[in-house]
Structure 1
Amino acid sequence: MDPQAELRIVRAGYAKQILAAANTINPRLTEAFAAIPREHFVGPGPWMMLRWWSRDYAPTPDADPVYLYTNDLVALRPERRLNNGQPSLHAYLMHHAAPDAGEHVVHIGTGTGYYTAILAHLVGPSGRVTGIEYDPDLAADARANLAAYANVEIIQGDGTQVAFASADVIYVNAGCTRPAARWLDGLAAGGRLILPLTSDDGFKGGAPEQVARSGAVFRIRREDAEYQADWISPVAIIPCDGGRDEASEKALAEAFARGGWQKVTRLYRDAGIPDERCWLRGPGWCLAYD
């Protein structure tokens, strides 16, 4: 069989397995995962794969791309523990972000571009994706990897500060301690922000299960001047450069210790919300209960 034809079959099976692992039924997303070749975004093989039982990397036996079509993290910069993220988590979060044809997606933490390419496939040629990557080397790789994607622009810079046009989806792929004002301002009416919030406890050499418990992903939906919010997933993810500070990390850690993040329903940009209604408060904003 032609190797590319074989890989198309492998990708189709991979896509179904990834959506099943995410406990998600979404034909458009399944088709997107089947369409995008992961090997175009993770460098030449053999590849270093993160194995959870050893908490370390192990190489694939050779450079056959078939090894990339599993629900595993692939090292991008193993010496820095930077990986191409877990496909099932991204499938689950993209399902909740629900990017549609013709929409504008802003991808914060684009890495080398694999999940940016999937987002670009979902919005189609009538939509567009703005990928923002803090690390200059990763941004350069993403720009090269996505050169053929006419609906993608890659910007190197601080994703909490870089200006962008009004967005239907802001998809954040790094752990923050607070939402950036630019993200809240930049959401269009009906826009969705996928926001991972993580405390520092997850980044001090703890086991993967400890990292997961320290983080939570919220979906923020803008409705005119109001923001609905709901918890959608635990998360283990690298810290967001520019999206963390000591005071907000302390407040977030205390909020996680109290529990109750699953009950959050609103994000307010209002300092006057009573403390008893706030799960997490920052300067001029809070995640709150109805």
Structure 2
Amino acid sequence: MDFATEREAMVTLLRQRQDVSEPVAEAMRAVPRHLFVPGVDPGEAYQDGPIVTKRDADGLPISSSSQPAIMAIMLDQLGVEPGHRVLEIGAGTGYNAALLARLAGPDGRVVSVDIDEDLAAQAREHLAAAGESGVEVVCADGAGGHPGLAPYDRLIATVGVWDLAPAWLEQLKPDGRLVVPLDLRGVQVSVAMEREDGHWVSRSVAPCGFMRMRGPYAGPEVLTVLRRDPELMLGLPERRELGDVLAALDAVPTEITTKVEEPAPGPVIGMGMSMWLALHEPRWCVLSGQTPTGPTMTVGIAEDDSIAVLAAEDFLVARGHGAGGARLAAELAGHVTAWDEAGRPHAGDLRVVAYPGQADAGAPEGIVIRKRHTTLVVSLRRGR
């Protein structure tokens, strides 16, 4: 079966929820996603959700077919035009590369690089099954790019990156554009960047969430399994020593109800608050899984053997656990108030500037985040 009706329904749903350009919509109508996830029911293949395709020895997902909604956003950020030469970091299933090939047309070239040989081989098989011959899949560490076909008009990473690899910037044309899920102290945003006066400036920013890059260019993020059954995980932007957070979570919390209404009450705290904590609170954390109050994916502050996390009811509530829980809850509630008073900024309110090396000269006012190869300066426009 062709499943053209299912593809059209997927595109229609996406366009009801977000802006999708006609070139990207047409590429999604044309490329059969179900051929890139064999073994998955075609009905699921055309839902707007990610599909995990590989896990590591601990059962954590390390590769997937990304959610179509974020794929459409990033493809529109990238702005591929017919005849463009495109480099993709992270081949995955090959589906995104096929979309890129459709956008670049018969006169364009797409190179997709993946660190895992099995994934690269599968991507080639999937592309062949879909009749897509305009993609070259290379097994290599994507941090090195692919100099053989440089320079490129566009570069996109479909894996979370902690830093901008020098090879990517070197292999792009002077007027080239890159789109990457960039880590900002543990929070990812899809940033479209172009050169400007010797540095890189964001043209658009959108929220996203991708599996992290592996290999020498992996970032310092840490994901710790606090409990396996039921599963509960703690994510930190970088390694730091903590006490028995799990035991603290089992204790009765101290609750502080803020005056900030949560627009969508539920178990998942919004990206705006997560981003604010990441940029302003070095002790911030992400808690996901099953807690005594039910399933959750929330943010908070962890220190020593204490933790405070947010809950979304009619208002945002800070719940502090452990010996220092009351203090952390008060501090967390303070961050919620500050975020609200700033206009509840979200990813789209960010401006990100990347300077090569550790340079500070000429940097605009903002929050400085130092990476291995670049220095980021992040500034916020007022929300609302």
Q: Fold-level match, TM-score > 0.5?
A: yes
Match of 2:132 in 1: 149
One of 68, 71, 85 as aligned partner of 1:104? 85
Q: Kindly indicate whether residue 195 of structure 2 is the aligned counterpart of residue 222 of structure 1.
A: yes
Higher strand share: 2
Match of 2:361 in 1: 273
RMSD: 2.9
- Give how far 1:233 is off: 1.4
The aligned runs of 1:22-101 (5 Å cut-off) are: 23-44=18-39, 47=40, 63=41, 65-77=42-54, 79-81=59-61, 82-101=63-82
Query: 2:7, 2:153 → 1: CA distance?
Result: 28
Higher mean C-alpha deviation, range 141-150 or range 168-177: 141-150
Larger Rg: 2
Query: 1:26, 1:217 → 2: CA distance?
Result: 17
Change (3 A) 1:246 1:8: closer
Secondary structure of the structure 2 residue equivalent to 1:264: strand
- Give how far 1:145 is off: 1.7
Match of 1:176 in 2: 161
Higher mean C-alpha deviation, range 133-142 or range 254-263: 254-263
Query: 1:135, 1:228 → 2: CA distance?
Result: 31
- Give how far 1:18 is off: 2.2
Match of 1:58 in 2: none
Higher helix share: 1
One of 183, 188, 194 as aligned partner of 2:173? 188
The aligned length equals 253
Query: 1:172, 1:195 → 2: CA distance?
Result: 5
Match of 1:233 in 2: 206
Query: 2:164, 2:146 → 1: CA distance?
Result: 15
One of 265, 276, 285 as aligned partner of 2:374? 285
Query: 1:188, 1:199 → 2: CA distance?
Result: 26
- Give how far 1:278 is off: 5.1
Change (3 A) 1:108 1:283: closer
- Give how far 1:138 is off: 0.7
Q: TM-score, normalised by structure 2?
A: 0.59
The amino acid that maps onto 2:49 is: D
Match of 1:15 in 2: 11
Match of 1:116 in 2: 97
The amino acid that maps onto 2:30 is: A
Secondary structure of the structure 1 residue equivalent to 2:360: coil
Query: 1:115, 1:245 → 2: CA distance?
Result: 24
1:64-106: CA deviation from partner (whole Å, max 9, x where unpaired): x233211012231265423211000110111111111100111
- Give how far 1:231 is off: 5.0
Secondary structure of the structure 2 residue equivalent to 1:221: strand
Structure 1 stretches of 5 or more lacking a match? 48-62, 202-213
Q: TM-score, normalised by structure 1?
A: 0.77
Percent of pairs identical after alignment?
26
- Give how far 1:195 is off: 1.7
